[in-house]
Amino acid sequence: MTLKIHREGNVFVSTGLLIFAVFASLCFFYKAIIFYLLTAITLVLLLFVTWFFRKPERACITDENVIFAPADGKVVVCEEVEEDEYLKERRLQISIFMSLLNVHANNYPVGGKIEYCKHHHGKHFIAWYPKASHENERTTIAVNTAKGEIVFRQIAGVLARRIVCYAEKMIGREIEQNQKLGFIRFGSRVDIFIPLDAKVEVKIGQKVKSTQTVLARLS
């Protein structure tokens, strides 16, 4: 099976390959221990970056009655909160934490019309901390669906220094469920704010897969 790389990783992988090729060439010509060491380190980093930006092939499922996981990772929050940025009302919040080992591509958990998308500069606390949802660098997106409005938020963590969100250029346009939403580099989290009467299908500590795991069912 061919390992596919997400487009956000093309520059990183290409740069890594170039650096590796340079050090490997120096090893061939000079046979110095320092170049062997640098080549080995570069190879390890190249393999890690390639793995981090992997893009696995998955079946695309659509169902307007369910909310799919927008990211791979582990459920770290499942509670009732006040969504105070856009909806200004009580919602159930489900949060997914992505470790360095998870696929970091994000997908739309629902389909519909993008009504809102705003990027906020902020701090870089550990992504699973509760205050990360309000104080970290983040992008909030609202989608109007056949079942009402759903809000979700990409949050940067300690290592993450860039949130890529394709919704910024699509406000007012229709998107499909499980369509590509964006990417968060090197450790992060995604929050989803769903109606209080939704039936939650996951629990804290559960591992989920983007586009595959049902987080909740809408009434």
Residues identified as active-site:
188
Both tokens of 105, joined, read 């591509």
**Pairwise CA distance, residues 83 & 27, whole Å:** 56
Instruction: Report the interhelical angle of 10-30 vs 33-52 (nearest 10°).
Output: 160
The phi and psi torsions of 11 (rounded to 5 degrees) equal -65, -40
Tracing tokens 């369910």 back to the chain, one arrives at 66
Angstrom distance (rounded) from CA 170 to CA 139:
14
Helices of type H across the chain: 10-30, 33-52, 132-135
Neighbours of 82 (CB within 10 A): 12
